[in-house]
Amino acid sequence: MADLDLLSRLRARADATPRATAIVEPGGITVTYAELSARAQAVARGFTKAGMRPGDRVLFAVRPSVAAIVLMTGIVEAGGVLVPASLGVGDELFRAQMKQLAPRWVVAESLLLAASSSSLVRRIVRWRGGALPPMDCLSDARLVRVGPMVPLGPRTISADAIERMVPGTSVTALSSHDAESPALIVFTSGTTAVPKAVMHSRRSLRATLDLVGGRLAIGDGDVLLSRELHLILPALFAGATVVISRSMRFSAEATLRMLAQFNVTHVFGVTADCQALLQYLVDNGRTLPSTLRHVLIGAAPVHASFMRRFHDVLPPGATAWCIYGMTEMLPVACIALEDKLAFTGDGDVVGTPVDDVCARVTDDGELVLSGPNLFSGYHGERPVVEHHTGDLARIDEGRIVLIGRQKDMIIRREHNIYPALHEPVIASIDGVRHCAMVGVYDDDAADERVVLFIEPEPWCDATTFTQTVERELRIGLHRIDDAAQPDLIVLADVPRSGRSSKVDRVALRELARERLACASL
C-alpha cells in the first residue's frame, strides 16, 4: 500500500477548493483548505530542518484545534511517530510509559509544559484534586510549546517558530517513508503495572483513515463535529468542513449549540457522551437538529435499550451507526440503529466486518481479527498478523455478536456467566439508566458471588425500584438465567475509566467487595 501521503491528499483538496473552510473552532478561528495545506507542509519541513529524524517519537499534548491538526499532520509527514499523552494516569504509570518509549520530542501547550515541569505545582494541583503528568522525567526531550512563553517555565521552542523555519515552502513532496514504519503509538487505557503501547504503522493508519472515510458518507458541503483525528482527516480529504471544540469536558448543551450553529450533518460521539446528550434532550423535551443526517456512536458497548431511546430524538431521515473497534484495530464492524433494534438473539450484535477485515472465532469462543488496519504489535513484542481480542463472540449470518469478555466471565458453581449477555436485558428495565454485573470470589463459599450495580433514573424510589428489578429478573419480562441471579443489587454510579469512559470493572469489583462485606455484618 502507498504511504500515508497526508500532505498530497490535503493539497489535492486545496487545489480543488482552496477558499473552502476546512476547520472551524467555535469562537472565531477558521482555516481554509489552502491555508491548512500550506501550514501542514510548513510544519513538516520545519520539524525536518529542526532535526526531526524518521522514527522520532513525539509525545503530543495539545487539545483538539486547528493548531493540533496542523502539527499532527506535519509531524507524521516529517517521519515522526505520534504518541498521544495519557494525561490522566498516575505519576508512576506515566513515568513507566515514558521510560518505555523515550520520546525525543514533546509538543504540548505552554501552560501544561510549565505547570507539569514543576514538582511544587504538581503537588498543589494534586492537593486540589487534579493531576498533572511529571514532565520533568523527559529532560532529554526537545520541548515545543503551543502558545505564549510562560515565565519561569522550561526552555522551549515555539511551534510558530517551527512553522516559519522554512519560508516559502513549495509543494514538492518530502522524502517517502517505509509503509511499515511506525506512525502512531497509543497506550491502552488499562492501569496495569506494565503499560502496553499499541503501535500502528503508516500502512495501518492509512487503511484506518480510508475505511473510516468509506463509512462516513461525507463530502463537499457536509459538516462534521468531532475531536477524533481518525474522523477529522477522512472528512478533510473528502472536502467537508470540520468543527472542533477545544473543551476537554463534554457538554450536552454546548454540543447542541454547535450542531445548530454550524448546520452539522455528521457527528461522532463516544457512548457515554451520547447517553448524556440523550438524557439532556429528554429532560428538556428536545430533539437533535434537522440538519443532522449521520450519527456515529462508538468506543464502548452500545446496548439496544439505549438505541431504542436514542431513536426518538433523531430528526427524520437521520441514521445512527454503532461502530465496533479497539485501539488495536479500528474500525472492525458497524451496524445501523434499525438493524441493531431488530436483532432478537442473545448477545450484542455489532454488525458485519468492514471491507477487508476478517473475523473468526476460536474453539473456546474468542474473537480473532485480521485486516489492513491491524496494528503492527505491542511495543517491545513480536509483530502480529492477527489480534486475539479477548472478546467472546459468535458469527451470526456474517455478523459479529459479542457475548462478553474472557476476563469478565463469572464462574458460579458449574455455570459460566457472561455479564454482556445479561446487562442489555437488565438495561431495558424501565428506570435503569446504566448497569454492570461483576463477580467477587467468596472464600467461605468457595464460589463467586454476583453483584449487580444499577444507576437508576432520578425519579426512582430506591426501595420500590430494587424490589421491581428483583421481580423482573426472576419472573418478569426481563427474566435472566437462574445461575446469573445477583446475590446483591447495588444502586450507585457505575465507575468508568479511560478515554472511552468504559465501565471500570476493576474498581467495580473493589466496590462490590466493600458492599458485600457491609451486607454480611
Write out pLDDT tens, residues 204-243. Answer: 999 999 999 988 889 999 999 999 999 999 999 999 999 9
Mean pLDDT taken over the chain: 89
Mean pLDDT of 447-473: 92
pLDDT confidence of residue 168: 67
Among 52-66, 347-361, 401-415, where is mean pLDDT lowest?
401-415
CA torsion, ordered 362, 366, 370, 373, to nearest 10 deg: 180
Contact 183, 202 (CB under 8 A): yes
Question: CA–CA separation, 384 vs 262, rounded Å?
Answer: 42
Closest to 511 (Cα-Cα) out of 498, 494, 487, 497: 494
C-alpha cell at 20: 473552502
How much is the average pLDDT of 257-265? Answer: 96
Please list the residues that pair with 438 across neighbouring strands: 451
Alpha-carbon dihedral sign for residues 506, 512, 518, 521: negative
pLDDT, position 193: 46
Distance CA 135, CA 125 (A): 14
Residues above pLDDT 70, as percent of the chain: 92
Average pLDDT over residues 70-88: 92
Which pLDDT tens digit goes with each residue over 180-203? Answer: 999 999 987 543 445 689 999 999
Higher pLDDT, 489 or 506: 489
Higher pLDDT, 501 or 359: 359
Q: Is the pLDDT of residue 314 over 90?
A: yes
Contact 111, 147 (CB under 8 A): yes
Q: Are 69 and 25 in contact (CB under 8 A)?
A: no
Q: What is the mean pLDDT of residues 494-506?
A: 78
Examine the pLDDT at 123 and tell me if it is beyond 80.
no
Q: How confident is the model at residue 468 (pLDDT cuts 50, 70, 90)?
A: very high
- How far apart, in whole angstroms, are the C-alpha atoms of residue 517 and residue 511? 10
Whole-number Cα distances in Å, 400 to 343, 354, 357, 367: 12, 11, 12, 9
Name which of 48-62, 75-89, 165-179, 293-307 the model is least confident about: 165-179
DSSP string over 463-507: HHHHHHHHHHHHHSTT---GGG--SEEEESPPPEETTTTEE-HHH
pLDDT tens digits, residue range 389-418?
A: 988 899 999 999 998 777 788 878 767 788
Cα separation, 94 vs 260, whole angstroms: 39
Q: Distance between CA 434 and CA 449 in Å, rounded? A: 20
Strands 57-61 and 29-32: unpaired
